[in-house]
Copies of this chain bind each other. A is one copy, B any other.
Amino acid sequence: MNAPLPNEVLPQYARRPVPATMLDALKARFGDRCSTAAAVREQHGRDESPFPVTPPDAVVFCESTEDVAAVVALAAAHEVPVIPFGIGSSLEGHLLAVQGGVSVDLSRMTQLVRLNPEDLTVTVQAGVTREQLNREVKDQGLFFPIDPGANATLGGMAATRASGTNAVRYGTMRENVLGLTVVTASGEVIRTGTRAKKSSAGYDLTRLFVGSEGTLGVMTEVTLKLYPLPEAVSAAICHFADVRSAVDATIQVIQMGVPIARCELLDVNAVRFINAQSKLGLRESPLLLMEFHGSEAGVKEQAETVQAIATEMGGEDFQWATTPEERTRLWTARHKAYFAGMQTNPGCRTVTTDTCVPISRLAEIIDASVSEADASGLPYYIVGHVGDGNFHLAYLVKEGDLAERALAERLSLQMVQRAIALEGTCTGEHGIGLHKMGFLVDEAGAGTVELMRSVKRALDPKNILNPGKIFAL
């Protein structure tokens, strides 16, 4: 039962270290912006996953597409790995230098290249974070809805096909990236897509790069859709006696086609951890945290429909948060659930699941997973983008406790197998990284993964772009 599982340990790859000649060339071009200091390398060899720190040989702080192209061209010449780095909020080990190589830090690429409010589009450098973007477009009456919780970079969000709380209405990065500037494996710079809303011009390279986790190219600029700030916004909390009732209410809201903007589940554990950290004084029961966007009348209509459904499912204490301050307080608390879980359980790391299923199967998978989690004795909590059929059951395991870690991984494996049996996916938004490579084969089939590999070989014949992620190669 505690036998090591394929997804528990770092895959073992041969290292391909940066040779001295390449390091000299990097230092010559980048000066101080190329660092081999232990602290800098360590910071770039970790993310929010529970894997051990695995530092790159060097870190280059890029400031332009040309900088990135220069690093990649050198890496191609020396057949050395290149790992794009945003703010390091990956949960799946994407940023670990499992074969050594150079971390390309894009966090200084923070320019809004071009804002076209009249077309609802913006082009940003890959290091712009979603909070920066929203600050900069707010004056134009616009916003960018994709919100994975962390204040991630747009490049990182594109790389993992991120989504989060607003996806139920606005879609994911898949639906909201119009075009890209990409440095290819040879160090060439190409553009994909246009600023037009739709196109049938050849292969959809934009969406091939979105979600490719840095393995097919380094995205340096991203052209995004923006949305007019809704005329009216209101948020509501509704409490339920159990998780099942909250999920049943969600299913009915979605099936009726209510254009709800956010529909988040928190189980009682998540509420407790958030109360402990944020002093919100929330009633400690499972709850749905919802948001409605539209005209004044439209928001009212949506909210009335949802309130009626929730009441029918036993929902209680339907409370409104109509001021921006109240809403911000609630959503900030929701976003802090991940850190609240760790802070309330000192010495623990989080093993997070990310399954997503067709909406009608959501109650079934959550029920079974809760039973298993309760029986395991591990501390855990659930937060979920339930309007999309996506939820995270996060186990808190004591750092270094291999037995607890193995138990959490076994439960995670069972949940993924259940999600796949229910025609869902092992990852709704976090990506495959190192952690879910086995799950990808279970989900997609060996033939489909082999086809992905053949795309990888075609675009990155020397296997230098974030190698060893998504699949072994």
Contact = CB atoms under 8 A, between A and B. Distances in A.
Interface of A: 116, 118-121, 160-163, 167, 171-172, 174-175, 184, 188-192, 194-205, 207-208, 210-212, 216, 227-228, 230, 251, 254-257, 295, 297-298, 301, 354, 356-361, 388-390, 419-420, 423-432, 436, 439-440, 443-445, 447-449, 451-452, 454-459, 470-471
Given A175-B171, A455-B455, A204 B210 contact: yes
Given A161-B204, A358-B121, A454-B459, A199 B447 contact: no
20 contacts: A163-B198, A188-B447, A189-B447, A190-B451, A191-B448, A194-B420, A196-B423, A197-B390, A198-B356, A198-B429, A202-B440, A203-B208, A203-B212, A205-B448, A207-B207, A208-B208, A228-B255, A230-B257, A298-B298, A457-B458
A122 to B, nearest CB: 12
Nearest to A168: B197
Given A163-B198, A196-B357, 4 more contacts: A120-B254, A167-B198, A200-B430, A297-B297
Choose among A203, A357, A443 the residue with the greatest number of B CB atoms under 10 Å from its CB.
A203
Contacts of A171: 175
| Interface pairs A-B: 8 shortest CB-CB | A458-B458, A228-B257, A119-B358, A199-B425, A118-B360, A207-B207, A195-B423, A196-B356
Nearest to A456: B203
Contacts of A210: 204
A144 to B, nearest CB: 14
Nearest to A443: B201
A206 to B, nearest CB: 9
A200 B445 contact: no
Copies of the chain in the assembly: 2
Choose among A198, A358, A440 the residue with the greatest number of B CB atoms under 10 Å from its CB.
A198
Nearest to A174: B204
Nearest to A295: B301
Contact of A191 (B195, B428, B444): B444
A198 B176 CA distance: 13
A198 B174 CA distance: 9
B455 A459 contact: yes
A197 B359 contact: yes
A473 to B, nearest CB: 13
Given A194-B424, A388-B197, A202 B470 contact: yes
Given A119-B358, A458-B457, A452 B202 contact: yes
A199 B120 contact: no
A423 B424 CA distance: 37
Contact of A256 (B191, B228, B436): B228
B207 A443 contact: no
A471 B203 CA distance: 11
Contacts of A423: 194-196
Contact of A427 (B201, B301, B444, B445): B201
Contacts of A449: 202
A88 to B, nearest CB: 18
A455 B357 contact: no
Nearest to A207: B207
Contact of A204 (B116, B208, B228, B451): B208
Contacts of A455: 203, 208, 455, 458-459
Choose among A191, A297, A451, A454 the residue with the greatest number of B CB atoms under 10 Å from its CB.
A451
A443 B439 CA distance: 38
A390 B208 contact: no
Nearest to A231: B257
Nearest to A251: B118
A322 B195 CA distance: 35
A227 to B, nearest CB: 7
Nearest to A256: B228
B297 A203 contact: no
Nearest to A217: B451
